[in-house]
Structure 1
Amino acid sequence: MAHLLGSQACMDSLHKDLTDLQGTIVDVFSRAGPVRFPSWKFPDRMACDLDMVALLEHYDHVPGDPEFTQLSHAVLLELVIDR
């Protein structure tokens, strides 16, 4: 499975999953209000205050930079857990 780390298809799928999760979270927040708990990934911030758009733009597939791309893949997986 290590050969999939940083693959464009996997990262595109993670981006879509995170976008879907965030949309669901926003929908629930609009009805119930934000839930104030620390982020698992960023414990110094509240989970409801994370700027997911900025995070998804920053952690993306970068052709020619496999190390950053693999790091981004791991961060996106961690963000799924965080959500």
Structure 2
Amino acid sequence: MSQLLDHQDCIERLQKDLVDLQGAVLDVFSRTGPVRVPSWKFPDKLSCHLDMVALLDEYDFVDGDGASNQHSRVVLLELVIDR
């Protein structure tokens, strides 16, 4: 099972899901204004202040680095919860 955790497709799909979720969040914010609550993943920051572009870049697929890819996948899943 662990060999599936670092597949490029999984990471790319999670990134796409996060982009879609962020688009939905921004759509709601455009109507209501930002919701100022702490981020679940980064409780020292407000969820509306997370730089999703930087986070998606930081937690990207790295060819040949299974441990890093597994970590990225877990963080991306946590960011889905955070959104």
- TM class, shorter-length: over 0.9
In structure 1, the partner of 2:6 is: 6
Deviation at 1:3, TM superposition (A): 2.6
Deviation at 1:65, TM superposition (A): 1.1
In structure 2, the partner of 1:80 is: 80
In structure 1, the partner of 2:23 is: 23
Q: 5+ residue gaps in structure 2?
A: none
Q: Equivalents in 1 of 2:6, 2:77: separation in Å?
A: 11
Q: Equivalents in 2 of 1:64, 1:7: separation in Å?
A: 10
RMSD: 0.8
Aligned partner of 1:41: which letter?
K
Deviation at 1:60, TM superposition (A): 0.6
Deviation at 1:66, TM superposition (A): 1.0
1:24-39 map, 5 Å: 24-39=24-39
Deviation at 1:2, TM superposition (A): 2.8
Partner SS for 1:41: coil
Q: Which runs of 4+ in 1 moved over 2 A?
A: none
Aligned partner of 2:55: which letter?
L
Matched, 1:41 2:41: yes
